[in-house]
Chains A and B, each alone.
Chain A
């Protein structure tokens, strides 16, 4: 690597670029925290401003907003049980229970540390191994995406422990929702009932806001107790406590960050799958899997490190192959093209100056998240915990409407959000949680299209089983993971049962 490191650092650390990075992280965090306002949107709005800047400055700003927005999604997930971005879906599982019992400050500090850790792992892998790792994006094809989506769906079983049937019903309902609209494969109209507005299907973000946020809002109004337990005064950031938890979860953090980077490289996956898979793996590897979902710190660490690792990971195929790893990457790729920067392997050799300044900027932005995030997080928590419900509810309700309108600047998504939200609250009363539905909705399209393509290609080549599974080592690997996830709890239960039975049998003998 014949690159002048001193030059890169002096560029990336110039006062103007640092200022841009700070502004980008703060702006990104706020946008990410507001459900409906996404990183993609923030970047698209700011792209024209970057045209007036040096390419490197513009890129640093866009990268900072992106990484800030993915991190900011955790705030809403922890404090209001609503993922600010789809990447933060799994953060609600343990983040909100933590906030509920008065550990919201700890959860946010943990999310900050995990995001910085994951972001650094992703960025370092991007800097060190981008051309090597880019090939992973090509190794994952339709059948691998199908199995990856199925692996994600197995999480339904663990999320609905105690009532698997209700979880499965919710998941099936989510899968049905994912089918609404024009089918990508075949072009058929499904479940649109002649309504043109349904042609585009149910927007995932609108459904997220509705399913997670509306029930919380209704409960806030219906119940007399406080929304969150307020923190005792002057407790600080609880940073040493959080660091201790991180040290105990170091292996979890590393594993989740690697999963996040890897999934980020896959153009068809993204932050939501990264955090779901790493959550599932963290739960399985934990010695106390039953604590997951009830406010386990390891869950928050897993999801938040994974989704920020997708930022660096997503830039790998974007910069090396010209294939955007995530939707915000697509916008950044477009901005690069307009700037006259050609992506591809040459980018690393010929125009390397700009690329490495950008990557250094990404590392700096990630590091800046630590102080900025701790300060913003502290105030966000105090604000949400101490604001009277009479003010909090209308404010959050207003944001849900703005957020769902902002997705496509279309009132149709607001109607979908409200309808699904009220429905979600009603079935919540009957014991159906929102997460299985959301998993079905998010993963249904990926699973369906992956399967259909493997089916069509396998049909053309006269080798369907090989195309779907048998001839594909990565698919076999994911398939094995699915089997382990589904069978290990059964085997454990069986053993426990047998041990109990065996013990009884032994006693019975004289």
Chain B
């Protein structure tokens, strides 16, 4: 315990020194460590990306980024109290799409989508259709053919109901006419043994899953505009004539009371981190796809995504 405290003290001292040096050059913000609240459990993809951002935030601003966790109700517990936090820029919170659109649409999670002030969307994990390495399905067309022969007989696992994976499954069915039975699991981690153990034929998952499982799985297609640098041989859905681009998006939001300048400042900081080649390399190696939606472009981006999810959500509702 003492050791830990000593280390914290040392860290604080170093921070103070580094901060003092940099502050003159940089803007007044941030002049204190920034609390970064992750509305999910430690160890998930939101946590991992925050951990990767942490050191770069320090280099860019001279201040510490302190990652905290407030999991519960798929993120809703943290998002519903975001606007009660101090709006001086020292509290920022991770936000995830489609969660923050779908939750208020389908339940009453204690917040509305527009209550959250997003300042930057920094990456997404593109939807991907993944099978075991020894699967008989070699291409998306194989899956479509098999599914059309016996509608609903093939099972596709994914994380939770009304999630990005669930939406991908619905969108895929709408565009191709291939009916797969969607099987929800508690999080992406739980889907992997289901696929490898043969409980489901395929997964709606993300590039990150394929990156983590290596040659034990085969990714049939990825929902990006261009191929993912880590998987140059995997086609995009678009190339196959299926108009699917999307996945789970991550960004940060601030309490509503945060002043306009601070929002812009934060947006610029995250943008700088996102432009660092070393950071980009780390993220892409882990399977993430970079995305740059700064504060100025947020309204247009959110409007586009909301329209997209609302259309699909109605079908999920009617599909039940």
Q: Chain A contacts of B71 at CB under 8 A?
A: 408
Q: Could you count the A-B residue pairs with CB atoms below 8 Å apart for me: how many are there? A: 168
A48 within 8 A of B: yes
Contact A338 B52 (CB under 8 A): yes
Main SS class of interface, B: mixed
Contact A199 B107 (CB under 8 A): yes
A481 within 8 A of B: no
Contact A330 B189 (CB under 8 A): yes
> What is the distance, in angstroms, from A208's C-beta to the closest C-beta of chain B?
17
The residues in B between 78 and 103 inclusive whose CB is less than 8 angstroms from any CB of A are: 80
Interchain CB contact (< 8 A) of B162 among A187, A317, A324: A187
Contact B48 A337 (CB under 8 A): yes
Contact B42 A181 (CB under 8 A): no
Q: Max chain A CB contacts within 10 Å: which of B67, B69, B72, B200? A: B72
Q: Chain B contacts of A333 at CB under 8 A?
A: 43
Encode B1-28 as 1/0 by CB contact (under 8 A) with A. Answer: 1011001000000000000000000000
A232 within 8 A of B: no
What is the size category of the interface that chain A forms with chain B?
35 or more
User: In the complex the two chains form, what is the Cα distance from A317 to B162 in whole Å?
Assistant: 28
The residues in B between 148 and 194 inclusive whose CB is less than 8 angstroms from any CB of A are: 152-155, 160-162, 181, 183-186, 189-190, 192-194
B41 within 8 A of A: yes
Contact A49 B68 (CB under 8 A): no
Contact A199 B77 (CB under 8 A): yes
Contact B72 A408 (CB under 8 A): yes
Q: Chain B contacts of A138 at CB under 8 A?
A: 193, 196-198
User: In the complex the two chains form, what is the Cα distance from A69 to B159 in whole Å?
Assistant: 29
Contact B186 A196 (CB under 8 A): no
Q: Chain B contacts of A183 at CB under 8 A?
A: 161
Chain B residue nearest to A445 (CB atoms) is B186
B229 within 8 A of A: no
Q: Chain A contacts of B297 at CB under 8 A?
A: none
The residues in B between 49 and 87 inclusive whose CB is less than 8 angstroms from any CB of A are: 51-52, 54-55, 67-74, 76-77, 80
> What is the distance, in angstroms, from B206's C-beta to the closest C-beta of chain A?
14
> What is the distance, in angstroms, from B149's C-beta to the closest C-beta of chain A?
14
The residues in A between 32 and 56 inclusive whose CB is less than 8 angstroms from any CB of B are: 40-41, 43-44, 46-49, 51
Chain B residue nearest to A457 (CB atoms) is B155
> What is the distance, in angstroms, from B194's C-beta to the closest C-beta of chain A?
7
Contact A196 B108 (CB under 8 A): yes
Beyond A184-B160, A196-B76, whether A141 also contacts B197 by CB under 8 A is yes
Q: Chain A contacts of B107 at CB under 8 A?
A: 182, 189, 199
Contact A199 B76 (CB under 8 A): yes
A131 within 8 A of B: no
Interchain CB contact (< 8 A) of A460 among B73, B155, B162, B190: B155
The residues in A between 262 and 303 inclusive whose CB is less than 8 angstroms from any CB of B are: 267-268
B257 within 8 A of A: no
> What is the distance, in angstroms, from B223's C-beta to the closest C-beta of chain A?
22
A185 within 8 A of B: yes
Chain A residue nearest to B200 (CB atoms) is A457
B213 within 8 A of A: yes
A459 within 8 A of B: yes
Contact B73 A200 (CB under 8 A): yes
Residues of chain B at the chain A interface (Cβ within 8 Å): 1, 3-4, 7, 41-44, 47-48, 51-52, 54-55, 67-74, 76-77, 80, 106-110, 152-155, 160-162, 181, 183-186, 189-190, 192-194, 196-200, 212-214, 216, 286, 320
Taking A186-B320, A338-B51, A409-B70 as known contacts, 10 extra A-B pairs with beta carbons closer than 8 A to each other, sorted by chain A number, are A23-B3, A47-B42, A184-B161, A184-B186, A187-B161, A197-B77, A322-B213, A330-B42, A334-B47, A410-B72
Residues of chain A at the chain B interface (Cβ within 8 Å): 23, 26-27, 30, 40-41, 43-44, 46-49, 51, 137-142, 181-187, 189, 194, 196-197, 199-201, 203, 267-268, 317, 321-324, 327, 329-335, 337-338, 342-344, 346, 408-410, 412, 449, 453, 456-457, 459-462
6 contacts between A and B (CB under 8 A): A184-B184, A322-B192, A330-B44, A335-B51, A337-B212, A408-B77
